[in-house]
Structure 1
């Protein structure tokens, strides 16, 4: 972090204040808990538990109940985190709107109310404060619904609550992106859309990993036959994570091109250096995902096919979570870097503003196709590895 601050200062970059770093990183942690947890529960945990109950493959009989209970508790605490970080992020917006306003003053409810009730700027179709008012009302409703899962009566309806909260959690970030003035050109529209795609896919990726790691912590309460259920959980989330990787890469390339004019700006500007660190961390996440796809997932499939209960449980509840823990740490590090990505490397370096063209869109289409082919090939390669005839496949795992 000191290296980042030094590079930023030497490039004429204004280092964000500590309160700005903590509130922005915290806000994205809150979004990861709300968006990532609800989407992962809906797409991975819920269908896996329902499938296990339908086939009677629920370990010693209470595994599904244990995982549902832990999921409800996790969701409730994620609601608390969203509520707290959302309030702090709103106060940070208030502090930034006032010239030299201390962050402590911005926490006052009357300051926040003044900010939310401020009239629209000239030429705006809606007041910016109104946008944030609607966003935070949705955030409050989302957090309240999640916190309700602390109550035993609400836990009986966890599935319904999650499905109801999911679109509201997405709306928290989407509403905040609504522009108060109409974007002037196509590039600005693409900036808004791809920025939100980057946020949503990143929060689903990190939030989902954190939820599954938390659920894996129940292994002491799970039966010896929990391996097949967890094999299905990891398989389903691997598909979700793969989609997120594709969305993060495509949107990230666009946003990087908009803000960085040349490779040298990655180490000669504060913004570029922060982006370089973020890219390195994301590559670490992708590398860990590759370990899961090419090493752990095939061994899990082989152990399951061989009906090797002990190896399957060890792989799904001991080895896999260890790798995922590393991914969670890298993901949190990415969020810690985000507050430093303010401004633009192009502006710092005095280079021209990025303007899209037919060749840029053609290159983008080529990237999307190449990435889709790469992800498809990854899935097929992992599947092929899982079909290899190996003697005692999980013994060396």
Structure 2
């Protein structure tokens, strides 16, 4: 078979518009639910519960957090239904997406028997996922009610594991993977998704909360300094998870550096990588420049400067990261197939040396993130220069 013939067999096919919208929307829904609940639980809630937080600031941020989480539940519910319909349309090649939206067709899809050799049917897996999704959305949507908002912490902590389970359940294999590397790919794919949704969804939540600065007091800079400090640690963990899992997934789908610009998949992946690195660079600016300035302003008791840095300057950088993250979500639906197959190359083979190199890269990356955190702390500990 000639190279031209092989390229024709493995040619890239652009997804239909409905698949692009449903897949992007589904990840937006996951970012809203997973990212917002994790960030609220790990970052916002502890700061609001601190005895030094002013009551008016706490009330304002709790109201805005509850409203954001409630709308995140609505988005996930709609996006989840559309994603399920897309799976129905994908399972029946000639079924128009509009017809796949019918509840009867979706129910038939969920009740389909298991394939030969499968321990459970794919429809059952999606049925369990849908039930968990509805429960997560119910907990979040209930926050529209004033009475439920008094139980914001409990509802957010209930929705958190349910939201994470939504993506994990969907990837449960219906048959035992014959290749151990395939099982590892499933795990790392979920690490990639959860890490990315917490990172991007957390940024979006905090950017939205920072927009409430007009309703906050003059000492809100202290509260927000703690919020940004806590989230910086969460973001570092997410960056490590995304980059380490991304290295493995890139190796599985890209056979050489050249395939990044000689294949459609590779070029789209290159665009995604560029935007992710842009987010990392913006986060690095926060770590090495803004966070130390915030810490020094706090040490100097410079209330006005602290308020400006935490609620005006910092959110501008965060909104830039959110915009890049939205671009990443826009590219994801187009990443179908692999650069290896489009280039006519062989399938990847996971050997001991591949795992060794991967482990070395992961340890190097973890060490670099640790150094980043310690360097940021060292810059923050610099003495505030005396004023004349």
CA distance in 2, matches of 1:367, 1:15: 33
SS where residue 94 of structure 2 aligns? coil
SS where residue 49 of structure 2 aligns? helix
Instruction: Answer yes or no: is 1:372 the counterpart of 2:363.
Output: no
The 5 Å alignment of 1:244-323 reads 244-323=238-317
Instruction: Answer yes or no: is 1:175 the counterpart of 2:169.
Output: yes
1:110 offset after TM fit, Å?
A: 1.0
Q: Which residue of 2 aligns with 1:66?
A: 60
CA distance in 2, matches of 1:195, 1:376: 23
Instruction: Answer yes or no: is 1:79 the counterpart of 2:73.
Output: yes
TM-score in terms of structure 1 length: 0.94
TM-score in terms of structure 2 length: 0.96
SS where residue 326 of structure 1 aligns? helix
Q: Which residue of 2 aligns with 1:192?
A: 186
Q: Number of residues paired by the alignment?
A: 381
Q: Which residue of 2 aligns with 1:27?
A: 26
Seen in structure 2, the aligned counterparts of structure 1 residues 218 and 392 have a Cα distance that, compared at 3 Å, is: farther
Q: Deviations over 1:173-202 (max 9, x none)?
A: 000000111111210110100000000000
Q: Give unmatched runs, 5+ long, in structure 1.
A: 1-7
CA distance in 2, matches of 1:339, 1:50: 40
CA distance in 2, matches of 1:348, 1:176: 27
Q: Which residue of 2 aligns with 1:39?
A: 38
1:392 offset after TM fit, Å?
A: 7.4
Q: Deviations over 1:260-313 (max 9, x none)?
A: 111111111111111010000000000000110011000000000000000000
1:165 offset after TM fit, Å?
A: 1.2
Q: Which residue of 2 aligns with 1:230?
A: 224
1:101 offset after TM fit, Å?
A: 1.2
Q: Give unmatched runs, 5+ long, in structure 2.
A: 1-6
SS where residue 353 of structure 2 aligns? helix
2:92 aligned to which of 87, 98, 102: 98
The 5 Å alignment of 1:103-142 reads 103-142=97-136
CA distance in 2, matches of 1:328, 1:14: 29
CA distance in 2, matches of 1:303, 1:315: 9
Q: Deviations over 1:338-370 (max 9, x none)?
A: 001111111111111111111111111111111
Q: Which residue of 2 aligns with 1:165?
A: 159
Seen in structure 2, the aligned counterparts of structure 1 residues 260 and 234 have a Cα distance that, compared at 3 Å, is: same
CA distance in 1, matches of 2:41, 2:120: 34
CA distance in 2, matches of 1:154, 1:171: 23
SS where residue 257 of structure 2 aligns? coil
CA distance in 2, matches of 1:392, 1:12: 65
1:50 offset after TM fit, Å?
A: 1.0
1:315 offset after TM fit, Å?
A: 0.1
CA distance in 2, matches of 1:243, 1:205: 9
2:321 aligned to which of 304, 327, 333: 327
Q: Which residue of 1 aligns with 2:49?
A: 50
Instruction: Answer yes or no: is 1:340 the counterpart of 2:330.
Output: no
The 5 Å alignment of 1:5-24 reads 12-24=11-23
2:357 aligned to which of 358, 363, 374: 363
CA distance in 1, matches of 2:239, 2:87: 30
Q: Which residue of 2 aligns with 1:212?
A: 206
1:390 offset after TM fit, Å?
A: 4.0
Q: Deviations over 1:189-248 (max 9, x none)?
A: 101000000000000000000000010010000001100100000000000000000000
